[in-house]
Structure 1
Amino acid sequence: MKKPTHILVLRLSALGDVAMLVPVLHILTQTYPNLKITVVSRAFFKPFFKDISNCNFLEADVYGKHKGFGLFKLSSEAKKLGIDAVADVHNVLRSKMLRTHLWSMGIKTATIDKGRAEKKKATASKPLKKLQPLKTTHQRYAAVFSMLGYPIDLKKYTPPRNKELSEKTHNLIGAHTQKLIGIAPFAAYKSKMYPLPMMREVLEKLNAQKNYQLLLFGGKNEVKQMEEISAGLQNVKVVAGSLSFEEELALISNLDGMIAMDSGNGHLAAMFGVPVLTLWGVTHPYLGFTPFNQPRENQLISNREKYPLLPTSVYGNKYPKGYENAMQSIPVKLVVEKAVAVF
């Protein structure tokens, strides 16, 4: 059977999951330079794909012109681009509608297996005697392209080059000779967030090292809390809320390391081959969401002896009473020592 030449890739959200797709597409297009890719996602994520060869972007305006049955208009737009296959690496209602409509037009499709049953078992209310690592999200993405005739080796990744920093970014971080370390202290759920008083201690100890410039990343609504935990620390700067998204991406590409929760910023750094130290709460790296190419020793996990039901959730939104404090079991001393060792 003839292999497709132009694959439509469906991944509409969320930030971390879309970011995890980026290194996979880099490897895919580096391995098959004649293959054409069109990514369907939300406009906000378009900068992710700028550096991927033979990759175009089609905006999914799911709250505007493509809302509801407007998805059929989106599939028609995709068909006009000359696609001859669909890789659904999202597998939710919207992507199913798009995929099915294109399949009805005679276009070959392949769909991700999210391993829902395995993940449900791993997060069950009974503690597992031995937690086994599941397939990573990157492996699950790669399997979809293999179904379409394009197997890839995830070990063969050449990260994109560091992006040029804007004048605004240079002015924000200032002249320095220290290593640039990003720190993203927030997550969607408290259960995935290192306690801020403990993060303050981490900042104090790393600040005292004097060979790091520590940059705090996060949302605009988190800036005040970041300013509070970094107050009086000479080598710590809050960059959240001060840069455009593209400027933040460029800055992340120039980091020497990133400390993150199980959240999007760790995946953004991993896209650029930046070493990432991840702190895990009620979720767990074995569920498949470790940032790309980051070793096991870079994953600091809450104490499973004290919290035997870990992991309790794939996304961090479900946990028994008291488990929202699981990250208190990761000692500040360990975080600092590991950061110094890795960065």
Structure 2
Amino acid sequence: MKKILAYRFSAFGDVAMIVPVLKEFLAQNPDTEIVFVSRKNFADLFDGVERLTFRGVNLDDYKGVFGLRKLVKELNQEFQPRYVADLHDVLRSKIMTILFKLSRRKTATLDKGRTKKKQLTRKENKVKKPLKPTTERYADVFRKLGFSLKLSHQLPKNSLQKSGIGFAPFAQHEGKMLPIEKSLELVKTLSKNYQIYLFGGGKKEVEILSKWELELENVTSLAGKLSLKEELKKIAELELMISMDSANMHLASLVGTRVVSVWGATHCFAGFLGYGQSENDIVEIKNLECRPCSVFGNKPCYRGDYACLNQIEISEILNKIKP
């Protein structure tokens, strides 16, 4: 068996996008096995993938160059990989890749396409065209190592009984999040005809969603109540997930659940649409010249009004519900 050691340490959604790539890679390359190294709390994303070993690490135990040298030494001794795939391309992973190369492993590194993403999101003279999907960028790393891989870009099928609609109204940054008043209006409208399950994390989000649950019929908040494995199972049972450009979109993609996704300051052209999801299920304001202004939604709105999100009407989301 050809053993490949791959790593990426953040962010949650980016790591989740790696999973379908690894599954299809292993299916198409039966003489390989993968060791995936990441933060311990991401382990359930990789549960049940044949010929894949997840190695969780606490990065606080491996600080600085000497700490990373210790980690590389441990991984070499424990797994003795022949190939190394850097799926992150940040300073930490660059140092690790150099150290693996010095130990005579064949290495390849992710190309994030930073220049083209800057051209897509700059304030003036945007080059507004679709860039390579992030999943294809991950696949390119394995191709650089000499392996063949053709991604299907299809949602996995599951035979579960499906009912209810999931809604994940939050995102890490304001530029990716529908105004909370509009999200509440959406839940109120949907709950008249559907059982709604709310997803979120963090103390403030749990408080908000728990309040909605108490105030509205046919609304159940799952925020803060489920493990990652339990959350994936529940999402797999949904008819549909409504999500921002956030990790929940990628979790739904992992388990074969269709997503209606809401996009504000970010844009699917940057390559982060959920794996196998349809562009027809995107809700966005298309005629704003300022969009996209950010790859990750972490920049303040220079207009000051977040028109990309405030101009979205709830009816646009409702019209996407039925395929």
Same fold (TM over 0.5): yes
Q: Deviations over 1:198-238 (max 9, x none)?
A: 111211221112xx221100113211112334443211110
Aligned residues: 319
Q: Does 1:25 align with 2:22?
A: yes
Q: Look up the SS of the partner of 1:51 in the other structure.
A: coil
2:62 to 53, 62, 66: 66
Q: Deviations over 1:268-306 (max 9, x none)?
A: 1101111011100100011100000111101111x243x
Identity of aligned residues (%): 38
Change (3 A) 1:35 1:190: same
The answer to whether the Cα contact below 8 Å between 2:110 and 2:138 also exists between their aligned partners in 1 is yes
Per the alignment, residue 290 of structure 2 pairs with: 309
Write the letter of the residue equivalent to 1:338: K
The answer to whether the Cα contact below 8 Å between 2:158 and 2:256 also exists between their aligned partners in 1 is no
The answer to whether the Cα contact below 8 Å between 2:155 and 2:254 also exists between their aligned partners in 1 is no
Write the letter of the residue equivalent to 2:185: E
Per the alignment, residue 139 of structure 1 pairs with: 136
Per the alignment, residue 85 of structure 2 pairs with: 87
Instruction: Provide the C-alpha distance between the structure 2 equivalents of 1:103 and 1:71, rounded to a whole number of angstroms.
Output: 14
Write the letter of the residue equivalent to 1:74: L
Instruction: Provide the C-alpha distance between the structure 2 equivalents of 1:217 and 1:184, rounded to a whole number of angstroms.
Output: 5
What is the Cα deviation at residue 191 of structure 1?
Answer: 1.4
Write the letter of the residue equivalent to 2:319: E
Write the letter of the residue equivalent to 1:50: D
Measured on the aligned residues, the alpha-carbon RMSD in Å equals: 1.9
What is the Cα deviation at residue 245 of structure 1?
Answer: 2.2
The answer to whether the Cα contact below 8 Å between 2:162 and 2:238 also exists between their aligned partners in 1 is no
Please list every run of 5 or more consecutive structure 2 residues that lacks an aligned counterpart in the other structure: none
Per the alignment, residue 329 of structure 1 pairs with: 311
Write the letter of the residue equivalent to 1:202: L
TM, length-normalised to structure 2: 0.93
Instruction: Provide the C-alpha distance between the structure 2 equivalents of 1:300 and 1:276, rounded to a whole number of angstroms.
Output: 11
Q: Deviations over 1:1-44 (max 9, x none)?
A: xxx81111111111000000000001001111220100010000
Instruction: Provide the C-alpha distance between the structure 2 equivalents of 1:190 and 1:143, rounded to a whole number of angstroms.
Output: 32
The answer to whether the Cα contact below 8 Å between 2:153 and 2:275 also exists between their aligned partners in 1 is no
Write the letter of the residue equivalent to 1:219: G
TM, length-normalised to structure 1: 0.88
Instruction: Provide the C-alpha distance between the structure 2 equivalents of 1:158 and 1:146, rounded to a whole number of angstroms.
Output: 22
Instruction: Provide the C-alpha distance between the structure 2 equivalents of 1:16 and 1:135, rounded to a whole number of angstroms.
Output: 17
